[in-house]
């Protein structure tokens, strides 16, 4: 934990591109207070997003913010549900899935682009959600569709390699698991491992 925060602080301090660094920090601090595991997951996905952005020439600020705040909507979900290890009921799943729209609502005014990317971070997986997202306007569609798959795969990687709950029961080869989870993103997954952003 200390190590993770130290690494995050180092990278966070080193970037000078944030419109409002303090706001990002405040959101992360409230998440930390609400649910430590989600906070740590967010830091790790943020750091992976930053690393991937550097490697693949994505905008550093957008990718870093998208990674750090992708699950910020979980702040509205009870910590008991967030940390529940057993199988979830249908109602609990639906409640959990709402974090996507909550994140979007929280960020859509100040971080228009990141909010759209974040809204799609569960769109590419096998049990894709939310369904029926409104269409993006032409000015955003290509860019969002370039960034959202990257965030989705990094998020999945971190969950797969760190979580022990019912959704991620067996730990085998993470790359194989990702290729199964994202059959349409084979190239991206291969590149993430090839360039060392992710480790098998
Ligand atoms: Fe999520
Ligand atoms: Fe996540």
SS3 (DSSP) at 43? helix
Cα of 96 vs centre of ligand 2, distance in Å, is 11
Across the chain, which has 200 residues, the per-10-residue mean pLDDT values are 92 84 95 98 98 96 97 98 91 97 97 97 95 93 97 97 75 90 97 96
- Range list of β-strands (E), the chain: none
For residue 15, the model assigns a pLDDT of 87
**Burial class (CB within 10 angstroms; exposed 0-12, middle 13-18, buried 19+) of 117:** buried
For residue 86, the model assigns a pLDDT of 84
For residue 166, the model assigns a pLDDT of 66
- pTM of the full structure: 0.95
Which residue ranges form the domains of the chain, and what is each CATH number?
2-11+20-194 (1.10.3210.10)
For residue 142, the model assigns a pLDDT of 96
Ligand nearest to the CA of 38: 2
For residue 172, the model assigns a pLDDT of 79
b/e 132-165 (16+ beta carbons within 10 angstroms → b): eeeeeeeeeeebbeebbbbbbbbbbbbbbeeeee
* Residue 154 CB partners (closer than 8 Å, separation 6+): 45, 48, 49, 52, 67, 192, 197, 198
For residue 164, the model assigns a pLDDT of 77
Cα of 80 vs centre of ligand 2, distance in Å, is 17
Cα of 175 vs centre of ligand 1, distance in Å, is 20
Cα of 19 vs centre of ligand 2, distance in Å, is 23
């Amino acid at each position: 934990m200390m190590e993770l925060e130290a690494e995050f602080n180092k990278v966070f301090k080193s970037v000078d591109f944030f419109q409002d660094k303090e706001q990002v920090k405040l959101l992360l601090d409230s998440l930390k207070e609400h649910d430590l595991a989600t906070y740590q997951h967010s830091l790790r996905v943020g750091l992976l997003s930053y690393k991937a952005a550097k490697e693949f020439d994505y905008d550093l600020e957008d990718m870093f913010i998208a990674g750090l705040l992708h699950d910020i909507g979980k702040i509205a979900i009870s910590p008991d549900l967030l940390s529940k290890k057993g199988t979830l009921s249908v109602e609990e799943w639906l409640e959990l899935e709402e974090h996507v729209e909550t994140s979007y609502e929280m960020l859509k005014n100040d971080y228009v682009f990141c909010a759209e990317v974040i809204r799609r971070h569960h769109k590419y997986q096998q049990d894709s959600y939310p369904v029926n997202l409104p269409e993006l306007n032409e000015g955003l569609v290509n860019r969002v569709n370039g960034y959202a798959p990257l965030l989705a795969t990094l998020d999945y990687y971190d969950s797969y390699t760190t979580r022990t709950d019912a959704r991620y029961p067996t730990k085998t080869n993470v790359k194989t698991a990702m290729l199964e989870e994202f059959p349409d993103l084979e190239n991206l997954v291969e590149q993430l491992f090839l360039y060392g952003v992710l480790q098998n």
